[in-house]
Amino acid sequence: MGTATDHGLARSLHGFLRRTKRDYSAGQERPLEGYLAAVAGFGVYTSAWATAVRLLGRPVPERPAPWDVALTSVAAFRLSRLLSKASVTSPLRAPFTRYVGPQGPAELHEEARSGTGKDAVGELLTCPFCLSVWMVSTLTAGQLLWPRATRTAMGALAALAGADALQLSYAALVARVEGGAEEGTGTQDE
């Protein structure tokens, strides 16, 4: 192919991408380039794990054990929320997000910063649902490469999720009891 053909193809592709973004965005600012980079990054990330598993000759089970699926689910849930919402991990998100305020017990509400690719990264880092895809992939790869250490870490994350559930249940119970005590402060003669 000649240089003129290469430039013409590049212009056509650029025009197609610009029109696609305009038509998709419906007047809103959407960081499609950043999302595309995130998808590509995820592909490279998972390919690297798969290559490591293959090169090291690690066995891949025919199907995941139900216990591993359950443990991975709980661990990925807790790790995703820890990374995307916890106050203590806000320094990791700060370059890509802006603090808005508290959101639930020990969690923050942050918004992605706009511009220069920070918006897509910020959206990923503040979305526990988005981050869980990466966490499940990481934990799955960890189970294949370092099963004992990974299951130990996942057990700790599952225990943390259980402790969180107990803390929230206790707080709800205390609030209910205190609310009921205030309602019952009247005298019987009333």
Kindly report the number of other CB atoms within 10 A of residue 35's CB atom.
14
Question: What pLDDT score was predicted for residue 72?
Answer: 98
> What integer is the mean pLDDT of 33-49?
93
> Which of the residue ranges 32-36, 59-63, 78-82 would you say has the lowest mean pLDDT?
32-36
Give Cα 136 distance to the centre of its chain.
10
Among 135, 113, 108, CA closest to 123:
113
Angle at 70 between CA 168 and CA 132, to 5 degrees: 75
Question: What pLDDT score was predicted for residue 190?
Answer: 46
- Percent above pLDDT 70 for the chain: 94
Please tell me which residue, 36 or 134, carries the higher pLDDT value. 134
> What integer is the mean pLDDT of 30-36?
84
